[in-house]
A and B are shown apart, each in its own frame.
Chain A
Amino acid sequence: MLYREAGQFKTSYAADQQVFPIRQDRIGVAAALVVAFLVVPLVANQYWLSAILTPFLIFALATIGLNILTGYAGQLSLGTAAFMAVGAFAAYNFVLRVPDMPILLAFALAGVSAALIGIVFGLPSLRIKGFYLAVATLAAQFFVVWALTHFPWFSNYSTSGVISAQKMEILGFAFDTPVRKYLLALSIVAVLAIAAKNMVRSSVGRAWMAVRDMDVAAAVIGIRPLPTKLLAFAISSFYCGVAGALYAFAYLGTVEPEGFNLDLSFRILFMVIIGGVGSILGSFLGAAFIVLLPIFLNTMAPLLEHRLGLQLPAGLTSNLELIVFGSLIIFFLAVEPHGLARLWQIGKEKLRLWPFPH
């Protein structure tokens, strides 16, 4: 009843081609943005802003990056954390070495640096596919972390290899409190997410999907595989690079190369798989699931213990968390192998028929 597109007539090409063709979706997205920009900063406390919402946004951005490559262009990658590391260290070095570097430009250049590295490691994708490509991108993962550790120039000769992000300022306005950092991350993520949503339905996105579904057929209809794949690597790495820069500047404040390890790459891949392969909304859902659920379980465990009057052995609660987390992943994948985004889509289909399903 509420969610029905009946009566929404498109009278111009522009109206027919807009990002969200259904009016209710447009209202929904606008409402979500209003809540995120205006309500959340007023309501949320510092803990929520700096420890939950900001990392959620940053991981969502990295997940969009990987989703472009894996979900839309069909190239499996295990180097996501490495591209984030390139972004973080590049942003640090641009701000450090170029006088009066505007922070947003530094973030953009960080993305460009990551894109260049992504293109280099994407070259093998023309010849190798699937799991073999995953192994090739694994090389990116190890090489980048190795290079950042072994060439002290990258960390400005810091003895421990840790870099400490500089202050963020735009036109004299300092982004130093959790609310401001959250708003900065939100603005960047919102712009890039809408750009991604637009991109995947443009000719570029269609070419990616054609290559994903069958690259020989795509080549036959005139899509050149190498530039298409490399463009996917470049744009994916750009998103990951910006996410990495935000991870260092807006979230942790200090990062070491070792923090961008294979474990992080896998976590982002899980976000893509759980959220939904080939879906921008799924990237947000997946990031929320993987970032929030362990924290939720960790908060609930002691409360349950108090409530039930139990005193569990120290290691057990931590291990239980991992067990519950793992079981929930299996549960969601068993219920809906196409990810949380697919659940949402099914929900929308049902809403269209409600209250008279046939």
Chain B
Amino acid sequence: MKSVRQALLGVVLLGAAATVHAQNEQFIPMNGYWVGPYAPGGSGIFGGFIDYVNMINAREGGVNGVKLTYEKCETEYNNARGVECYERQKKKGPTGATMVHPLSTGITYSLIEKAAADKIPVVSIGYGRTDASDGRVFPYIFPLITNYWSQNTAKIKFIGAKEGGMDKLKGKKIVNIYHESAYGKETIPVLDAQAAKYGFTVTHIPVPHPGNEQGAQWLQVRQIKPDWVILRGWGVMNPVALKAAARAGFPREKIVGVWWSGAEEDTIPAGAAAKGYIAAGFNVAGTNFPVIAEIKKYIYAKGRGEMEDQTRIGSIYYNRGVVHGIVTVEAIRKAQEKYGKKALTGEQIRWGLENLSISDANLKALGAAGFMQPLKVSCLDHEGGGAVKFQQWDGNKWVVLTDWITPDRELVRPMIEQSAAAYAKEKNITPRDCSKES
């Protein structure tokens, strides 16, 4: 009985210790995943994100003196756990959650209505609901930097350039191998629209979650004999696909992956089978950037830091996490310009995100020139960038092949507006008038 009482006392004390916090703090929930089949992505991205936030705290004492705090919550890439984490974290800190990065398309979908009701921005960098790029219908959702449809049109542009012109795409055969989930299915309509526009044929082949068995799918690829394969995988599905492609004798130079299929974690397990494989990316790999050097100087030199395996610093996922950090911190900075240098609410941060503008000069000052693309968000356009670079795996590292390739806006934007309008109609939302926003 005594031990039970002591244990209870301990729990109470722990609870009391956790509720003490200062007022001048901006709280950022870190709802990620460190276990399960998608842990390489989750741990890398949140590693870079948390390291960047800690570096800002160590170097500048936070954003204009407002210290950034965070807490981790394990979502296991599972919708129910993701919603629980969101509910748990949304009221923490003096002003509640700054913004949420769900790092899962499924969880993003589950949060769309909840976040709008709670007035907390959901930032989905390079994933999530594509038509949320229309900020009139989705004021609190920010699929920043580039969405799946933009990326997909850039991919077809890249393939067109490789073939020697967009008119050469006529009659070509493209296979879209996709992860059978909300994430994987997202690009099917835009690929069909492009196939109709450029005259190529496209075959969609699903791979069930988690994707560690793909014999049948690649047999089908062998029968179709496509000119190009688009790999829309995630997690363990990617190395398996590359190995299966090698076994089926399909040249890896003709496989173009999405950015969730283009990291070291996807190619190294595939070994020699990955050599020559091409993937899109909205950030590049490498440690030759001042921002990474700063993280090493302020965090790792002091024996702290999130990454146990320090060779992962500078990897695609880690650097993507740093991009998450830069976007988050700059949005807070922008919102502080309007609302003052104090802890801000999600509603105020939303304004900061919507008016976020990161120019080339800003990127240079942040030590991230060439690391990511410049960004300009507006009420109409919650994407803000849209371009991607293509990189090729040379057996040891990712080599950048192209400069930023811009998407086919004339094709994507009407589709986004149409889809967003359908959502607004279904949910009885009156789109905002962007000319009245300030």
Binding site for B on A (CB under 8 A): 46-47, 50-52, 55, 149, 159-162, 164, 251-256, 258-259, 261, 294-295, 298-300, 302-304, 306-307, 311, 313-315, 317-319, 321-322
Interface locus among B77-85, B266-274, B293-301, B323-331:
B77-85
Please, which residues of chain B bring their CB within 8 A of the CB of A149?
180, 206
Interface locus among B60-68, B108-116, B355-363:
B108-116
User: B106: which of A164, A251, A256 is its contact (CB, 8 Å)?
Assistant: A256
Among A160, A254, A255, A261, residue most surrounded by chain B Cβ atoms (within 10 Å): A160
The 8 nearest A-B residue pairs measured at CB: A51-B87, A318-B34, A160-B182, A51-B84, A315-B34, A303-B14, A318-B35, A254-B109
Q: Is the CB of A318 within 8 A of B109?
A: no
Q: Is the CB of B182 within 8 A of A47?
A: no
**CB-CB under 8 A for A259 and B35, given A52-B84, A159-B189:** no
Bound-state CA distance A161–B204 (Å) is: 15
Minimum CB–CB distance from A331 to chain B (whole Å) comes to 16
Please, which residues of chain A bring their CB within 8 A of the CB of B88?
47, 51, 295, 299
Q: Is the CB of A319 within 8 A of B109?
A: no
Please, which residues of chain B bring their CB within 8 A of the CB of A314?
34, 43, 46-47, 50, 72, 306-308
Closest to B15 in A: A303
Bound-state CA distance A46–B120 (Å) is: 15
Minimum CB–CB distance from A130 to chain B (whole Å) comes to 27
Q: Is the CB of B35 within 8 A of A256?
A: no
Bound-state CA distance A210–B106 (Å) is: 44
Please, which residues of chain B bring their CB within 8 A of the CB of A162?
106, 109, 182
**CB-CB under 8 A for A252 and B87, given A314-B47, A322-B35:** no
Closest to B112 in A: A254
User: A295: which of B79, B84, B112 is its contact (CB, 8 Å)?
Assistant: B84
Among A253, A261, A317, residue most surrounded by chain B Cβ atoms (within 10 Å): A253
Minimum CB–CB distance from A140 to chain B (whole Å) comes to 16
Please, which residues of chain B bring their CB within 8 A of the CB of A261?
209
| Secondary structure of the A contact surface, majority rule | helix
Please, which residues of chain A bring their CB within 8 A of the CB of B185?
159-161
Minimum CB–CB distance from B201 to chain A (whole Å) comes to 20
Please, which residues of chain A bring their CB within 8 A of the CB of B304?
311
**CB-CB under 8 A for A252 and B80, given A46-B87, A160-B109, A302-B71:** yes
Q: Is the CB of A252 within 8 A of B83?
A: yes
Q: Is the CB of B35 within 8 A of A306?
A: no
Please, which residues of chain B bring their CB within 8 A of the CB of A55?
80, 84
In this complex, the interface size class of chain B, counting residues with CB under 8 Å from chain A, is: 35 or more
User: B79: which of A46, A47, A259, A307 is its contact (CB, 8 Å)?
Assistant: A259
Q: Is the CB of A315 within 8 A of B308?
A: yes
Q: Is the CB of A303 within 8 A of B18?
A: yes
Bound-state CA distance A253–B110 (Å) is: 6
B4 at the A interface (CB under 8 A): no
Bound-state CA distance A313–B312 (Å) is: 14
Q: Is the CB of B112 within 8 A of A159?
A: no
Minimum CB–CB distance from A42 to chain B (whole Å) comes to 18
Among A52, A161, A302, A314, residue most surrounded by chain B Cβ atoms (within 10 Å): A314
Q: Is the CB of A258 within 8 A of B14?
A: no
Bound-state CA distance A159–B189 (Å) is: 7
Minimum CB–CB distance from A270 to chain B (whole Å) comes to 15
Bound-state CA distance A259–B81 (Å) is: 12
**CB-CB under 8 A for A306 and B17, given A47-B88, A252-B79, A258-B181:** yes
B369 at the A interface (CB under 8 A): no
Bound-state CA distance A318–B188 (Å) is: 35
Interface hits, B1-40 → A, CB 8 Å: 11, 13-15, 17-18, 33-35, 39
Closest to B129 in A: A160
Selected A-B contacts with CB under 8 Å, 29 pairs: A46-B87, A46-B91, A47-B91, A50-B87, A51-B83, A52-B84, A55-B80, A159-B188, A160-B109, A164-B426, A252-B80, A254-B112, A256-B106, A256-B109, A256-B181, A258-B209, A259-B79, A259-B106, A295-B84, A295-B88, A303-B17, A306-B14, A306-B18, A314-B46, A314-B50, A314-B72, A314-B307, A315-B39, A318-B35
B57 at the A interface (CB under 8 A): no
Interface hits, B186-241 → A, CB 8 Å: 186, 188-189, 206, 209
Please, which residues of chain A bring their CB within 8 A of the CB of B73?
298
Minimum CB–CB distance from A95 to chain B (whole Å) comes to 12
Bound-state CA distance A161–B79 (Å) is: 15
Closest to A321 in B: B74
Please, which residues of chain A bring their CB within 8 A of the CB of B87?
46-47, 50-51
Q: Is the CB of B109 within 8 A of A258?
A: no
B283 at the A interface (CB under 8 A): no
Please, which residues of chain B bring their CB within 8 A of the CB of A303?
14-15, 17-18
Closest to B181 in A: A258
Q: Is the CB of B186 within 8 A of A159?
A: yes
Minimum CB–CB distance from A278 to chain B (whole Å) comes to 27
Q: Is the CB of A258 within 8 A of B106?
A: yes
Please, which residues of chain B bring their CB within 8 A of the CB of A298?
73-74
B419 at the A interface (CB under 8 A): yes
Interface hits, B165-182 → A, CB 8 Å: 180-182
Known: A160-B109, A259-B80. 19 other contacts (CB 8 A): A46-B91, A47-B87, A51-B84, A51-B87, A159-B186, A159-B189, A164-B112, A164-B113, A251-B83, A252-B110, A253-B110, A254-B113, A299-B88, A302-B72, A303-B17, A314-B72, A314-B306, A317-B34, A317-B74
Closest to A145 in B: B208
User: B34: which of A253, A254, A307, A319 is its contact (CB, 8 Å)?
Assistant: A319
User: A258: which of B43, B74, B182, B419 is its contact (CB, 8 Å)?
Assistant: B182
Bound-state CA distance A299–B14 (Å) is: 11
Q: Is the CB of B34 within 8 A of A256?
A: no
The interface bits of chain B over 410-425 (1 if a CB of A lies within 8 angstroms of the residue's CB, else 0) are 0000000001000000
Minimum CB–CB distance from A320 to chain B (whole Å) comes to 10
Please, which residues of chain A bring their CB within 8 A of the CB of B79?
252, 255-256, 259
Q: Is the CB of A304 within 8 A of B14?
A: yes
Please, which residues of chain A bring their CB within 8 A of the CB of B72?
302, 314, 317
B105 at the A interface (CB under 8 A): yes
Minimum CB–CB distance from A198 to chain B (whole Å) comes to 30
Bound-state CA distance A55–B90 (Å) is: 18
Please, which residues of chain A bring their CB within 8 A of the CB of B11?
300
Q: Is the CB of B182 within 8 A of A161?
A: yes
Bound-state CA distance A257–B189 (Å) is: 19
Please, which residues of chain A bring their CB within 8 A of the CB of B43?
314-315
**CB-CB under 8 A for A256 and B91, given A302-B72, A307-B17:** no
**CB-CB under 8 A for A159 and B419, given A55-B80, A315-B35:** yes
Minimum CB–CB distance from A108 to chain B (whole Å) comes to 24
Among B105, B112, B182, B189, residue most surrounded by chain A Cβ atoms (within 10 Å): B182
Please, which residues of chain A bring their CB within 8 A of the CB of B18?
303, 306
Minimum CB–CB distance from B140 to chain A (whole Å) comes to 14
Q: Is the CB of B74 within 8 A of A318?
A: yes
Closest to B206 in A: A149
